[in-house]
Amino acid sequence: MKRRTFIIKGGLGVGAIGLGLLTNYSCQDQDSPMFNEVLSKKDVKMINEIGDIIIPVTDTPGAKEAGVGEFIAVVVQDCYTDEEKKRFKETLASINKMSNQDFMHDFIDCKKEERIDLIKKLDEENKEFKSIKDLIVSSYLSSEIGMTGFFRYYPVPGKYDGCISERPW
C-alpha cells in the first residue's frame, strides 16, 4: 500500500522538481503527523531508535534519552540545504526499504535483534548511513547528557595544562 503510493506520487513529481521533492517523502509520513516542516514524528522516533542502537544505555544514558532525534530534526530543518534535506530523507527511506526487504516492516517496527542486524549491515555497506551516524554521535556528545553525563564537564577550566596524564573529558 505504502509502496504503491510512493510510486504514484513519485511519478507525478518527475515533472516538477520542487513538487516532486515534497511528494516523494509524503508517502512515508502519511501515517504520522509532522514534527516540523521537514521530518515527521515517526522520522524523529526512527532516528532516536537508530541512536539507541549506536549509542545505547550503559552506565550512562544513551542517545534516545539525549533526544538526538528531536535535535537532528531541528538541524535538518534549519541548517541543511535543500539538497542535504533531500539526501537525509532518502537515507531514512532507504533504511526503511532495506528493513522492509529483510523483515517486511519499517525500522521502528523491527525487533531489537532485527535493528541490530540492519545497523550492522548499514554500518558496513552504506556510505550515506555514515553521515546519519556521525550526526547522531555529534548530537549525543553536544547534548546536556553527553556533555555532563557521558563526558566530564568543565565549563570554567580555570587553567591550561599542556601535559596531563588524566583524560580531560
Partner 1 sequence: MGNNDKNRYDAIVVGTGISGGWAAKELCEKGLKTLVLERGRNVEHIKGYDDMKPNWELPHRGRITNEDRKNSPIQSGVYNYNERSKKYFVNDLDNPYIQVKPFEWARGYQVGGRSLIWGRQSYRRSDLDFEANARDGFGVDWPIRYKDIAPWYDYIEPFVGISGSYEGLPHLPDSKFQPPMEMNCVEREVAQRIKGKFADGRMIINGRTANHTLDMGEGRGRCQYKGSCGAGHACSFGAYFSSNSATLPAAARTGNMTLRPFSMVQEVYYDKEKKRATGVRVVDTETMKQYDFFAKIIFLNASTLNTAAILLNSKSEVFPNGLGNSSGHLGHNLMDMPYGMGAQGTYEGFEDKLTFGSRPTGIFVPRFRNINKSTQRKDYVRGFTYQGGAGRGRAGGGPGFGAEFKDSLKKPADHWTMSIAAWAEHLPYYENKMYLHEEKKDKYGMPVICVDCEFKENEAAMVDDMMNSAAEILEAGGLKNVKTFNRNKIPGACIHETGTARMGNDPKTSVLNRWNQMHDVPNIFITDGSAMCSSGTTPGPSITYMALTARSIDYAVKELNKRNL
Q: Which window, 15-23, 37-45, 55-63, 94-102, contacts partner 1 (CB under 8 A)?
A: 55-63
CA-wise closest residue to 101 among 124, 123, 117: 117
Exactly one of 5, 87, 97, 151 binds partner 1 (CB under 8 A); which one? 151
Residue closer to partner 1 (CB basis): 3 or 142: 142
Q: Residue 78, interface with partner 1 (CB under 8 A)?
A: yes
Residue from 12, 105, 111, 142 binding partner 1 (CB under 8 A): 142
Contacts of 60-68 with CB under 8 Å at 24 or more apart are 60/145, 60/149, 60/150, 61/145, 61/149, 61/150, 62/140, 63/136, 63/139, 63/140, 65/145, 66/139, 66/140, 66/143, 66/144, 66/145, 66/146, 67/143, 68/136, 68/139, 68/140, 68/143
15 lines the binding site for partner 1 (CB under 8 A): no
Cell 570554567 identifies what position?
156
C-beta closer to partner 1: residue 14 or 164: 164
**The binder of partner 1 chosen from 79, 83, 104, 125 (CB under 8 A):** 79
141 sits near partner 1 (criterion: CB under 8 A) = yes
156 binds partner 1 (CB under 8 A): yes
Amino acid at 125: E
Binding residue (CB under 8 A) for partner 1 from 71, 88, 91, 110? 71
Phi-psi region of 110 (alpha: psi -120 to 50; beta: other; left: phi over 0): beta
Residue 74 touches partner 1, criterion: CB under 8 A: yes
> Which residues of this protein are in contact with partner 1, per CB under 8 A?
53-56, 58, 62, 71, 74-75, 78-81, 116, 119-120, 123-124, 133-134, 137, 141-144, 147, 150-151, 154-169
